[in-house]
C-alpha cells in the first residue's frame, strides 16, 4: 500500500496546493477525493516521553506517516499539496491563509470540481488564526477541516495520527457540508469560527467554550449533534486578488492603560485597532477618548471582552467603538483586516461586528421600548 503513498512532506492534508501543477491522486480511484496539505509532524531529539522541548528532531517522512495511518487510504484518495513556509506556526502571517483560501476556492468550489473536501494540518500555536482566515474566505459548502498535533510524533502515544485519520473521515462525510470550517481534534468536532486554543500543553485544547462541540468521533467516524448550520453572523470576504492585508494591531486593556499606544500604532501604519477590554469589553476612559478621536480620522477600534467567554454588548445607538460580539481578539483582527481590505465604510465595518447581536438584543418590541425610550428620555 505504501507504494501508492508518495505524498509531499506536508502530507497531512489541507488544500494547500502545489501552487501550479496538476493534482496527483494517491489511492483507489473509486474513493472520494480529498485535497490535503500542511506541515510535517514535529519530533523530539530527547526521548519518547518528551513533549516540551521537541521540534528540532527529524519528523516522519510522508511515507512513514501514511505507513503509520494506512487506514486513511481506505477512506479517501488524497492529493497532497504544500506551500513553502519556514519556522514554526508562530512565525506565520496572513499570506498563508490567503494562499490556501485562493487555491481551495479554485480547486473545490469550481462548478465541475469532484473534490469532496480539504484538510489542513497546521502547527497548533496559530492554527486558529490560519483556519479562521480560510473559513471566512472559502466560498462553498464543502468541508474544510483543520487539525494538528499537540504531541510530537516521537511521543509514546502521539495524537497527530488519530487526528489525521479523523480529519480525513470528516472531510469525506456528507454530514460535514454546510457547517463552515471545522476543527477535528482529540475526538471532537468544533466550529473554526468559535474555537480557540485554551491549553498550551495537552491534546484537549481546541474548544468552543460557550457554543460547544458540534460532534464527536466514534470509531474514527464523525457523529454530529446538530443539523448543518453556519455560525450566526459569519461573514464572507472575497480574496481572489488579494496578496497583502492592511495592518491591524491588538492591544491589551488593563489598569493604567496607556492610550498613547493607540496613537503610536496608527502612526506606525495600523489601519485599525483591536483592544481587549476588562469585563464585558469595557475600555478605560482614556482609551474611549482615543478611540473617538481615531474614529473621526477613519480608524476603527474593536472592543473585545478580555475574559475567555462572554461578550461586550453595544449600546442601543451606534458609537465610535465597535464591539466584537463573541469573536476573540485574533478572529476580530482578521475580520477587521478583511473588511478594511474590502473597502468597507466605518458603518459597514460596525455592522459586520455588531448587527447580529444588536438585532437580537434591541430588536424585539419590549426591548426596543425599554432601551430606546430610556435613551431618548436622557438625550
Catalytic residues: 39
Residue 214 grid cell: 458540534
**Helical ranges in the chain per DSSP H:** 62-68, 94-108, 127-135, 160-172, 260-267, 278-281, 285-296, 329-341, 346-362, 365-378
Dist CA 146 CA 37 (whole Å): 10
Which cell is 194 given? 468559535
Hey, which residues does 202 pair with through a beta bridge?
none
d(CA 173, CA 152) in angstroms, rounded, equals 28
Q: What residues does 185 pair with on adjacent strands?
A: 188
Helices (H) and strands (E) in the chain, counts: 10, 14
Buried-state track 124-162, b at ≥16 Cβ within 10 A, e below 16: bebbbbbbbbbbbbbeeebbbbbbbbbbbbbbeebbbbb
The closest of 71, 65, 56 to 37, measured between CA atoms, is 65
Angstrom distances, CA of residue 244 to CA of 97, 240, 267, 342 = 11, 11, 19, 12
Of 284, 285, 294, whose CA–CA distance to 263 is shortest? 294
- Could you tell me which residues come within 8 angstroms of residue 350 by beta carbon, excluding any fewer than 6 positions away? 300, 318, 322
Amino acid at each position: 500500500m505504501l507504494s501508492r503513498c508518495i505524498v509531499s512532506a506536508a502530507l497531512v492534508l489541507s488544500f494547500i496546493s502545489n501552487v501550479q501543477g496538476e493534482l496527483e491522486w494517491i489511492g483507489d480511484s473509486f474513493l472520494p477525493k480529498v485535497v490535503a496539505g500542511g506541515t510535517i509532524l514535529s519530533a523530539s531529539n530527547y526521548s519518547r516521553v518528551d513533549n516540551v522541548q521537541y521540534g528540532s528532531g527529524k519528523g516522519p517522512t510522508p511515507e512513514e506517516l501514511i505507513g503509520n495511518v494506512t487506514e486513511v487510504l481506505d477512506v479517501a484518495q488524497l492529493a497532497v499539496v504544500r506551500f513553502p513556509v519556514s519556522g514554526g506556526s508562530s512565525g506565520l502571517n496572513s499570506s498563508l491563509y490567503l494562499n490556501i483560501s485562493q487555491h481551495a476556492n479554485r480547486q473545490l468550489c469550481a462548478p465541475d470540481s469532484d473534490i469532496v473536501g480539504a484538510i489542513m494540518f497546521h502547527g497548533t500555536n496559530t492554527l486558529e488564526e490560519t483556519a479562521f482566515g480560510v473559513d471566512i474566505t472559502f466560498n462553498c459548502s464543502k468541508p474544510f477541516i483543520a487539525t494538528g498535533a499537540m504531541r510530537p510524533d516521537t511521543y509514546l502515544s502521539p495524537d497527530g495520527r488519530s487526528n489525521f485519520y479523523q480529519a480525513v473521515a470528516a472531510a469525506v462525510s456528507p454530514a460535514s457540508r454546510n457547517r463552515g470550517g471545522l476543527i477535528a481534534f482529540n475526538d471532537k468536532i468544533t466550529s473554526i469560527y468559535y474555537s480557540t486554543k485554551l491549553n498550551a500543553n495537552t491534546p484537549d485544547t481546541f474548544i468552543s467554550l460557550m457554543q460547544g462541540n458540534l460532534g464527536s468521533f466514534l470509531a474514527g467516524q464523525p457523529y454530529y449533534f446538530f443539523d448543518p448550520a453556519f455560525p450566526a453572523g459569519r461573514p464572507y470576504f472575497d480574496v481572489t486578488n488579494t496578496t497583502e492585508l492592511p495592518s491591524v494591531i491588538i492591544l491589551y486593556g488593563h489598569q493604567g492603560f496607556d492610550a498613547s499606544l493607540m496613537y503610536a500604532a496608527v502612526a506606525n501604519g495600523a489601519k485599525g485597532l483591536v483592544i481587549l477590554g476588562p469585563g464585558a469589553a469595557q475600555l478605560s476612559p482614556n482609551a474611549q477618548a482615543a478611540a473617538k478621536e481615531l474614529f473621526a480620522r477613519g480608524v476603527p477600534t474593536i472592543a473585545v471582552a478580555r475574559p475567555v467567554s462572554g461578550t461586550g454588548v453595544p449600546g442601543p445607538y451606534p458609537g465610535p467603538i465597535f464591539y466584537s460580539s463573541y469573536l476573540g481578539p485574533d478572529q476580530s483582527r482578521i475580520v477587521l483586516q478583511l473588511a478594511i481590505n474590502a473597502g468597507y465604510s466605518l458603518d459597514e465595518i460596525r455592522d459586520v461586528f455588531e448587527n447580529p447581536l444588536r438585532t437580537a438584543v434591541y430588536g424585539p418590541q419590549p426591548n426596543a421600548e425599554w432601551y430606546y425610550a430610556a435613551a431618548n428620555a436622557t438625550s
